[in-house]
Structure 1
Amino acid sequence: MTIIEEIQNQYSAFSGNEKKIADYILQNKASIKNMNIKDLAAKVDTSTSSITRFCKRINIDGFVDMKIALRSLASGHPSKEMPTVYDDIYGYYTQVIDETNQMIEDQAIETVVDWIKNANKTVIYGIGSSGFTAAELAQRLIRMGLNATGVTDSHLMIINSSIIREDELVIAISNSGETPELIASLEIAKKKKAKIIALTSFKNSSLTKLADVTCFGYHSRFVNNTVFVNTQFGMMYLIDVISTFLVQDENFKYNMDLTRKNVQGYSKKSE
């Protein structure tokens, strides 16, 4: 496990001060190699002893060892000057994809694909920006001929969970894994013995604890991002991976091609 994965895995359990340290480290990995511990303490407005304790918390002996661990990551992800807006956004997306790809577990993806194939019905939950991702996944599954629906309203989530059946599948999407309405709905679905899949960023989140299977995406707050870019990019990467595995099934691929053909034909008639 890399130092980045260790920080992200424990992030939900960090104190406010520890999260400040973690955020700065994750957003400024390249510059830390030129800092001493006092420099970092000044940057995050904390003490050197707090940074030392943070290192211990993530199973690193000390600040110097943390710098070495970060430097070893940099060799695999070379940085470059980003002189333009285009390069800034390209760098953001590249980092999110690279880190998400490192977090993917083959067995989890295989289980997710198998459960979607065999579910009597798949319901995808998401609120806010995660709601758009939920709607996208639902549309893809429907086009493959699967019984699926996206639920992005918190009240409808409660209603759906109240009447869900054991042979139905819930896919819950939340970067933080702490969206209250989503968690409340899943607690009901859990009591109904429905299977739950989580797409999220944190291993110790409330969502992860409720899920039977979890796929992790890199959180946008871990990138030094001060502009308006897609915070769902890690989740969308996971959806692309899952969808690609699903369409390897000839029946699903046929349905996808058929719906594409008919939609395109209808669009031409409407012109």
Structure 2
Amino acid sequence: MNAVNILEQIQNQYASFSKNERNIADYILQNKAIINNMNIKDFATNVNTSTSSITRFCKRIKVDGFVDMKIALRSLTAVSPHREMPTIFDDIYGYYTQVIDGTNQMVDNERLEQIIDLIKKANRIFVYGIGSSGLTATELSQRLIRMGLNVIGVSDSHLMIINSSIIKENDLVIGISNSGETIELIESLKIAKRQKAKVVALTSYKNSSLTQVADVNFYGYNSRFVNNTVFVNTQFGLMYLIDVISTFLLQDDNLNYNMNTTIQSVLAYTKNNEVKGITG
């Protein structure tokens, strides 16, 4: 197994890991470059666990043992050369590159086609997200509105419940949650499902509670798997997915025309107000 597959295995199973397994996973993901210089005893000491736990964890992510895991991780760090004195800019560039690469590996074309089809066929589209995921939901809803689609973005948990209770069979709900465990969001989507609406989930974790509700799941790489000790945008992987969805939708001539029309309308409005400000 190569390193990319190891990282995918960890992210795919992360939601079902025990606390000890998550500690091991977090250490691997945040210290990939230095693990090669450790033996299994040093690694176990750093994670505050036993060598047998490390071995079991390796089996769970489908590698034969600690040495095989190091070999696979070494191949990952080998393709990412670092400078002797990296700057903050280098660090951030490295974080974002890893998130994009990881997300790109997880994109499934068949799922993408299903999502595009559901968006085009929906009578109404509701985009749900809370907190930072609420900002991502707002971004997606605004893009879809500019394509001429009937879209409402909802970031208030109470409004989600209310909205889901009156949703119709031909409606589509897109739920966004990095963790896939946002309780209010999941409950709202369950209500929407009972109303026979279709549900799409954008999240980072396979086998999370959110993925059990959705008809179609679309996965982004979680930035915490790169580094959770610095201020790195947790929505970056999901924003990449939104860019992919938007770009594919704009291949439709009608949606593309609507987008260009809205852009021209905004530009004309801005220009007219600037003229009024100067002359008035």
Residue equivalent to 1:238 = 241
- Taking the aligned partners of 1:98 and 1:91, their CA distance within structure 2 comes to 10
- 1:26: Cα distance to partner? 1.1
Q: TM-score, normalised by structure 2?
A: 0.93
| Corresponding residue number in structure 2 for 1:161 | 164
**Which deviations, in whole Å up to 9, do the C-alpha atoms of 1:110-141 show, x marking residues without a partner?**
11011101100110000000000000000000
Distance 1:19 1:79 in 2: 28
Which position in structure 1 is the counterpart of 2:174? 171
Find the residue that maps to 2:37 and give its secondary structure: coil
How far residue 226 of structure 1 moved from its aligned partner, in angstroms, is 2.3
TM-superposed CA distance for 1:250, in Å, is: 0.8
Deviations 1:197-254 (A, max 9, x none): 0000111100001111111001111012422231100000000000000001111111
Using the alignment, how far apart are the partners of 1:191 and 1:108 within structure 2?
Answer: 22
Query: Out of 265, 268, 271, which is 1:265 matched to?
Result: 268
The equivalences for 1:60-79 within 5 A come to 60-75=63-78, 77-79=79-81
- TM-score of the superposed pair, with normalisation by structure 1: 0.96
> What runs of 5+ residues in structure 1 fail to find an aligned partner?
none
Q: Is the 8 A contact 1:30 1:79 kept in 2?
A: no
1:49 to 46, 49, 52: 52
RMSD: 1.2
User: What percent identity do the matched residue pairs reach?
Assistant: 70
Q: Distance in 2 between matches of 1:112 and 1:31?
A: 40
Where does residue 88 of structure 1 map in the other structure?
91
Number of residue pairs matched by the alignment: 270
Aligned equivalents of 2:232 and 2:73: distance in 1? 25
AA matched with 2:81: S
1:74 Cα offset (Å)? 3.3
Cα distance per residue 1:165-192 (max 9 Å; x no partner): 1100010000000001001101111111
**5+ residue gaps in structure 2?**
275-280
Partner residue in 1 for 2:100: 97
Match of 1:37 among 29, 40, 44: 40
Report what 1:108 is aligned to.
Answer: 111
Q: What SS does the aligned partner of 2:221 have? A: coil
| Matching residue's letter, 1:239 | I
Please say if 1:121 is aligned against 2:124: yes
Q: Which residue of 2 is the match for residue 22 of structure 1?
A: 25
Contact 1:164–1:192 (Cα < 8 Å) also in 2: yes
